[in-house]
Structure 1
Amino acid sequence: MQLSPNEHNNNFSLSRFESMLKTNNVLFFDSEEFENIIHHYLESGKIALAKKAVKLGLEQHPSSTNLKLFQVEMHIFENELDTADELLDTLYVLEQSNEEIYIQKANILSRRDEHKKAIQLLEMALKITDDVTDVFSLIGMEYLFLEDFENAKYYFIKCLEDDEMDYSALYNIIYCFEYLEQHEEAIEYLNDFLNKNPYCEVAWHQVGKQYFALKEYKKALAAYDFAIISDDSFIGAYLEKGKVLEKMKRYNEAIESYTITLGLDDPTSFALLRIGKCHEKLGNKELALQFYTKCVEEDSLLDKGWIAITDFYFRGKDYQKALYFIDKAINIDSENVLYWKRYAKINNRLNLFEEAEHGFRRTLELGNYELETWLTRCDILIKLGEFEAAINNLNQSAEFYPECAEIEFRLAGIYYFLNEATKGRFHLRNGLKIEFDFVMVLEELFPTVYTMKPVQEIIASFKKASL
């Protein structure tokens, strides 16, 4: 393939520049060459080389506004906002009609969370720029930062009106519609867009997602089929089509759609996981397990893969294998609360109460404050004879669930069991006031306490009062 003259010149300039850096021989470049070199390095993420090119460029062309603007960009990138601001003030005195000065000033204000002021400057840039699309996009992003989704949507729509191939603007428009829960309006907008661009696979894909959110699965399926007709290598459309087919319980067709993606690119852990789920729904247990295994081999950090294997064995009551896989998962990510919750439940089923208690404790430490977690941990501590720890656990849970009969009856049972009748009576009465029927908790966990005469008398008096 032949290079265009511009590409050839750019490559020649880059080679000369990099040769100069290696040999320390000073070569001359015109300011436009420096601009192209800097732009190339910024696009490639080679910031250190971009900085060198800016420095050398300004040494050879100290009055170049564009090179000074690149220098400003470097300062902003390194969060040296005051320095960048001072340089822009100097440039503004010289060139008040350069839109890039307003854009970079707005960039600084945005980084300082002064988004409304940034918008004002961008609106000034809009009046003097030849490239309105980029400025519309920047204003849209500022409104997103302000969570003003209506205005953000307006400006991204303006972007797309100016450039119908600006798919990032299209995605942002749909993001705004979705955040505002305007699914029907999104569909209407996309249909208007598709009337002008009937083979835009991205728009068809987004129509499908809106119908999926509205649970109109047949229409979603049709939209994804049109996306695939528009681009038969569009992996996202096949994946979303698979999800719709799963919802419609057409599992074999879902497998087929997911499988196509495996041939289009490297296998994704998501596709492998979903194929496994479909096989499990179809009763193909061995195939399900094969795909779950491939999923975690492909991406060992995908917690849904490890959870799928663990739950597969848990449902089959093969608790030892379930424990083996959740142990592996925890070794990879010991801060995953979903892993610890399963670890605790599996050990509880295996009557390994100390390990189960440890699992529930870690679950709580990682921020899972579900009532079931507190109560199950308490019941295990009671089995282990750790009554003080059980009381502490229940007192902590009461901070999150202050009017909970299940907590009160457990505290009553423990205190009566420890011969602290006054405290036991207090919590027993609390529990009966909150929800009388949950007295069964006391009967199940503390049968000897439940049959005590003083306890039965209190229960009877509350029962009589409620008649």
Structure 2
Amino acid sequence: MSRKSGENKIAKLISRYENMLNSNTQSFFDSHEFEDIADHYIEKGLLGEAMGSMEMASTQYPFSANFLIKKAQILTILERLPEAEKTLDIAESLEPSNPDLHIAKGSILSKKRKHQEALQHFHKAQNFSESPIDVYPFIAFEYQCLGRFQDAIKYLENFLNNEPEDDIAIFNIAYCFERLDAYNDAIDFFKTLIEKSPYCEITWYQLGLFYNKIKDYKQAIIALDYAILIDECFTAGYHEKARSLTQLGKTKEAINTYLLTFAFENATGYTYLKIGLCYKELSSYKQAIRYFTKACHEDPQLSEAWMEIGLCYEATGSIEEGLHYIKKAVNLSPDDLEYLYIQTKIHYKTGLYNEAELGYKKLIKLGCESPIIWMEYAHLMKKLNETKEAISLLKKGLEHNKNHSELLVRLGAYLFLDGQEDLARKYLHMANTINPEINIQLFNHIPSLQNNDDFNKLLNFK
């Protein structure tokens, strides 16, 4: 039966069923028709109607386990698990070897995160089923939940050998390969699967993804081109191909590839953002800002687009104008450490030292313990003639970054400038022991110390 004739048959069945309900009459439906009616309503999200059809089916077929199982499946979707379990217990008393019964029981146990018990029921379903391979995706999913990805792959491979175009199984096996970092195994598997079913765009797409993961971007583009050739509306293929082209430095081609997606889907903030990033890579800041602005218009909550506008303005020397957009990005993502750090750096660069100090304080409060944060914050305090505070900050930085040579040497230098020569000597020698070249970095930071005789004596330079 063709798909169209099948849809027409279901439409007529639903019409007959609903006419019966509207006229408050009784009509006979065979058991398969009742199951088709319930499945139709479930697919449409009309769970109340699906439940009603099963209640009616149970009155016509009171000893059928299938309708009880279907009712339990609906109850499971509605998260009414205790009712579903009681219904399945009744079904089990009628037909204990029904494979759908054990699939339904396993699904409930899976929802409860009782994956080992769920597996027991799925294996029972496998043993009772006339088509045991149909149960393999359920078994594989439980193994995924248990972190047993190799076992999951085994079942998914067997399933896909029989159903090579099942989208969900393809995505799940790709997920398992990725969790195992088994990128080459994934490539080998998908190439074999393509030999069985060469016209499945999802398989070509996954092959392209894994080629990208091993940085074989040329092979990725070949695979993605096949995905697009099979289905020209498959926009995910265009996006991934554009990413591959970007990695190869073919930025203009990447832009054109992103633009092709607009023929098949509505423009999104994400796509405009990616195009803007390409123009930024080309240093075409005016065009980049244009597309980042489009991204903000499509998705005002897309903080990355606001940030990129600010960075483009900064790159062209319009720092104060850029700061406006950077603040907008930080307001949208206040806990994003990278955004906050960029804003703090620009506050310092534009002489907004109080704002910069607040930025460093917040970075530390949010758990940023990178040595560069402590050094920059201390440098700011030193610039504000708060040398003792700078020293205190470097000491705190060392608590989080033991024996970091640059923190040590800066602490030694600040102690020297504060007149604490004995302590300065201690930290300077510790730094030099760890990294004998560290003084060069220090002199880049504080050039005046390079010709300071007292400081050089402290270092035994003279």
- Report the TM-score when normalising by structure 2: 0.83
Assess, with a 3 A threshold, how the Cα gap between structure 1 residues 445 and 56 changes in structure 2: closer, same or farther: farther
Deviation at 1:105, TM superposition (A): 2.8
Assess, with a 3 A threshold, how the Cα gap between structure 1 residues 203 and 449 changes in structure 2: closer, same or farther: closer
Q: Distance in 2 between matches of 1:4 and 1:377?
A: 71
Determine if contact 1:275/1:291 at 8 Å carries over to the other structure.
yes
In structure 1, the residue corresponding to 2:335 is in which secondary structure? coil
Q: Distance in 2 between matches of 1:450 and 1:431?
A: 20
Assess, with a 3 A threshold, how the Cα gap between structure 1 residues 301 and 169 changes in structure 2: closer, same or farther: same
Q: Distance in 2 between matches of 1:26 and 1:361?
A: 74
Mean Cα displacement is larger for which, 187-196 or 261-270?
187-196
Q: Distance in 2 between matches of 1:51 and 1:450?
A: 87
Deviation at 1:341, TM superposition (A): 1.4
Deviation at 1:203, TM superposition (A): 1.7
1:5 corresponds to which residue? 9
Deviation at 1:390, TM superposition (A): 4.0
Deviation at 1:292, TM superposition (A): 1.6
Deviation at 1:118, TM superposition (A): 2.0
Deviation at 1:60, TM superposition (A): 9.3
Determine if contact 2:303/2:332 at 8 Å carries over to the other structure.
no
Q: Any residues of structure 2 matched to 1:289-368 within 5 Å, and which?
A: 289-368=289-368
In structure 2, the residue corresponding to 1:4 is in which secondary structure? helix
Tell me which amino acid in the other structure corresponds to 2:8.
S
Assess, with a 3 A threshold, how the Cα gap between structure 1 residues 62 and 212 changes in structure 2: closer, same or farther: same
1:372 corresponds to which residue? 372
Deviation at 1:347, TM superposition (A): 0.8
Tell me which amino acid in the other structure corresponds to 2:258.
Y
Q: Distance in 2 between matches of 1:268 and 1:380?
A: 41
Cα deviation code 1:8-30 (max 9, x no counterpart):
3325646876x79xxxx999997
Assess, with a 3 A threshold, how the Cα gap between structure 1 residues 329 and 67 changes in structure 2: closer, same or farther: same
Q: Quick one: percent identity of the two aligned structures?
A: 28
Deviation at 1:208, TM superposition (A): 2.0
2:149 corresponds to which residue? 149
Cα deviation code 1:130-163 (max 9, x no counterpart):
4545421111111111222221111112222332
Deviation at 1:388, TM superposition (A): 6.1
Mean Cα displacement is larger for which, 37-46 or 98-107?
37-46
Determine if contact 2:242/2:253 at 8 Å carries over to the other structure.
yes
Q: Distance in 1 between matches of 2:414 and 2:45?
A: 63
Q: Distance in 1 between matches of 2:409 and 2:300?
A: 43
Q: Any residues of structure 2 matched to 1:446-457 within 5 Å, and which?
A: 453=454
Determine if contact 2:14/2:37 at 8 Å carries over to the other structure.
yes
Determine if contact 1:413/1:449 at 8 Å carries over to the other structure.
no
Determine if contact 1:269/1:296 at 8 Å carries over to the other structure.
yes
Tell me which amino acid in the other structure corresponds to 1:162.
N
Tell me which amino acid in the other structure corresponds to 1:127.
N
Tell me which amino acid in the other structure corresponds to 1:234.
F
2:198 corresponds to which residue? 198
Deviation at 1:389, TM superposition (A): 5.1
Assess, with a 3 A threshold, how the Cα gap between structure 1 residues 198 and 315 changes in structure 2: closer, same or farther: same
Tell me which amino acid in the other structure corresponds to 1:5.
K
Deviation at 1:412, TM superposition (A): 3.9
Tell me which amino acid in the other structure corresponds to 2:296.
V
2:114 corresponds to which residue? 114
Q: Any residues of structure 2 matched to 1:64-463 within 5 Å, and which?
A: 65-70=65-70, 72-73=72-73, 76=76, 84-85=84-85, 87-130=87-130, 132-386=132-386, 390-391=390-391, 393-415=393-415, 424=424, 426-439=426-439, 444=445, 453=454, 458-460=458-460
Assess, with a 3 A threshold, how the Cα gap between structure 1 residues 195 and 37 changes in structure 2: closer, same or farther: closer
Mean Cα displacement is larger for which, 383-392 or 259-268?
383-392
Query: Structure 1: which 5+ residue stretches go unaligned?
Result: none
Tell me which amino acid in the other structure corresponds to 1:8.
K
Q: Distance in 2 between matches of 1:448 and 1:197?
A: 71
Q: Distance in 2 between matches of 1:56 and 1:418?
A: 89
Query: Structure 2: which 5+ residue stretches go unaligned?
Result: none
Tell me which amino acid in the other structure corresponds to 1:6.
I
Q: Distance in 2 between matches of 1:393 and 1:11?
A: 76
Tell me which amino acid in the other structure corresponds to 1:408.
L
Deviation at 1:438, TM superposition (A): 3.0
Assess, with a 3 A threshold, how the Cα gap between structure 1 residues 426 and 263 changes in structure 2: closer, same or farther: same
Q: Distance in 2 between matches of 1:227 and 1:456?
A: 66
Assess, with a 3 A threshold, how the Cα gap between structure 1 residues 57 and 339 changes in structure 2: closer, same or farther: farther
Determine if contact 2:200/2:227 at 8 Å carries over to the other structure.
yes
Mean Cα displacement is larger for which, 62-71 or 288-297?
62-71
Assess, with a 3 A threshold, how the Cα gap between structure 1 residues 79 and 233 changes in structure 2: closer, same or farther: closer
Assess, with a 3 A threshold, how the Cα gap between structure 1 residues 116 and 383 changes in structure 2: closer, same or farther: same
Determine if contact 1:31/1:67 at 8 Å carries over to the other structure.
no
Mean Cα displacement is larger for which, 57-66 or 378-387?
57-66
In structure 2, the residue corresponding to 1:261 is in which secondary structure? helix
Q: Distance in 1 between matches of 2:34 and 2:390?
A: 70
Determine if contact 1:133/1:163 at 8 Å carries over to the other structure.
no
Determine if contact 2:38/2:54 at 8 Å carries over to the other structure.
yes
Tell me which amino acid in the other structure corresponds to 2:147.
E
In structure 2, the residue corresponding to 1:309 is in which secondary structure? helix
Assess, with a 3 A threshold, how the Cα gap between structure 1 residues 411 and 165 changes in structure 2: closer, same or farther: same
Cα deviation code 1:39-61 (max 9, x no counterpart):
45544446677678778987998
Cα deviation code 1:396-451 (max 9, x no counterpart):
43233111122233444555555666655554444344334434676655968995
Cα deviation code 1:154-190 (max 9, x no counterpart):
1112222332331111122222233333333323322
Determine if contact 1:322/1:346 at 8 Å carries over to the other structure.
no
In structure 1, the residue corresponding to 2:459 is in which secondary structure? helix
Name the Cα RMSD after superposition: 3.7
Deviation at 1:315, TM superposition (A): 2.3
Determine if contact 1:14/1:37 at 8 Å carries over to the other structure.
no
Tell me which amino acid in the other structure corresponds to 2:11.
E
Matched pairs, number: 456
Assess, with a 3 A threshold, how the Cα gap between structure 1 residues 350 and 67 changes in structure 2: closer, same or farther: same
